[in-house]
Amino acid sequence: EIVLTQSPATLSLSPGERATLSCRASQTVYSGLVWYQQKPGQAPRLLIYDASNRATGIPARFSGSGSGTDFTLTIGSLEPEDFAVYYCQQRSNWPRTFGQGTKVEIK
Amino acid sequence: QVQLQESGPGLVKPSQTLSLTCNVSGGSISSGSHYWTWIRQPAGKGLEWIGQTFASGSTNYNPSVESRVTISVDTSKNQLSLKLSSVTAADSAVYYCARGWIHLPPYGLDIWGQGTTVTVSS
């Protein structure tokens, strides 16, 4: 199965700062990479699909890039509601797999 | 607006079968446009993909649970179901159902249930 490794595990930033999250795949997933946001006690929320496409209603400060094995989620300027855990998931191979998550916390 | 709602026993004894349902409202589970997925999350940990099914009955499972899991659709009740046999404490988790699009974007799980907590304990 494809292993997704997210880094860093925790990102401590202040509101207004830029967040850069990484997701690396153990083998190519082409552009089949998805990003989700999860807040405590809530289900995950779809942010980005096919590496760089924002889902409906997702603010423009969220952007995704990458292809193959290296992907990045960037939050341009952190809003208070952006502090959460972010997961990447690949949808190119079976079984679908998730990264272990990156927690973006308030510094 | 499509909504998903998981339900089932919150407590299951070891070695027994965990059975959950996901009620789909505001849309048809028979839609050929979607697939339906179960995902779980142990307390304080990350997400694990369990498997998915299409209205046709075609399924894909995670090898980690494949020998114990059955995911199916009941079109008459507009429900998705999960059965996981021979459970152990390691199966304790919040279980989510979610919907994905087959041939149209967004190519990800765009609608999720709120999750249901299952504890495996005697």
Which one of B53, B109, B111 would you mutate to disrupt binding with A, by most A Cβ within 10 Å of its Cβ?
B109
pLDDT at B31 over 90: no
B83 is written with which tokens?
Answer: 């059965």
Determine the Cα–Cα distance for residues B74 and B21; give it in Å rounded to an integer: 10
Determine the Cα–Cα distance for residues B47 and A86; give it in Å rounded to an integer: 11
State mean pLDDT over B87-106.
94
pLDDT at B106 over 90: no
B57: confidence class by pLDDT, cuts 50, 70, 90: confident
pLDDT at B104 over 90: no
Q: Does the beta-carbon distance from A53 to B49 stay under 8 Å?
A: no
CB A70 within 8 A of CB A79: no
Count chain A–chain B contacts defined by CB atoms under 8 A. Answer: 66
> pLDDT for A29-46, tens place per residue?
999 999 999 999 999 999
CB B17 within 8 A of CB B88: no
What are the residues whose beta carbons fall under 8 Å from the beta carbon of A77, sequence distance 6 or more? A16, A17, A18, A61
Determine contact: B28 vs chain A, CB below 8 A.
no
Q: Does the beta-carbon distance from A96 to B49 stay under 8 Å?
A: yes
pLDDT at B58 over 90: yes
Q: Does the beta-carbon distance from A36 to B106 stay under 8 Å?
A: no
Which chain B residues are Cβ-neighbours of A43 within 8 angstroms? 96, 98, 112-115
Residue carrying the six token digits 């341009």 = A76
Query: CA gyration radius for chain A?
Result: 13
Which chain B residues are Cβ-neighbours of A32 within 8 angstroms? 107
User: How long, in residues, is chain B?
Assistant: 122
Q: Which residues of A8-40 are buried (b: 16+ CB within 10 A; e: fewer)?
A: eeebebeeeeebebbbbbeeebebbbbbbbbee
Beta-bridge partner residues of A37? A45, A86
Determine the Cα–Cα distance for residues B72 and B111; give it in Å rounded to an integer: 18
State mean pLDDT over A85-106.
97
3-state secondary structure of B39: strand
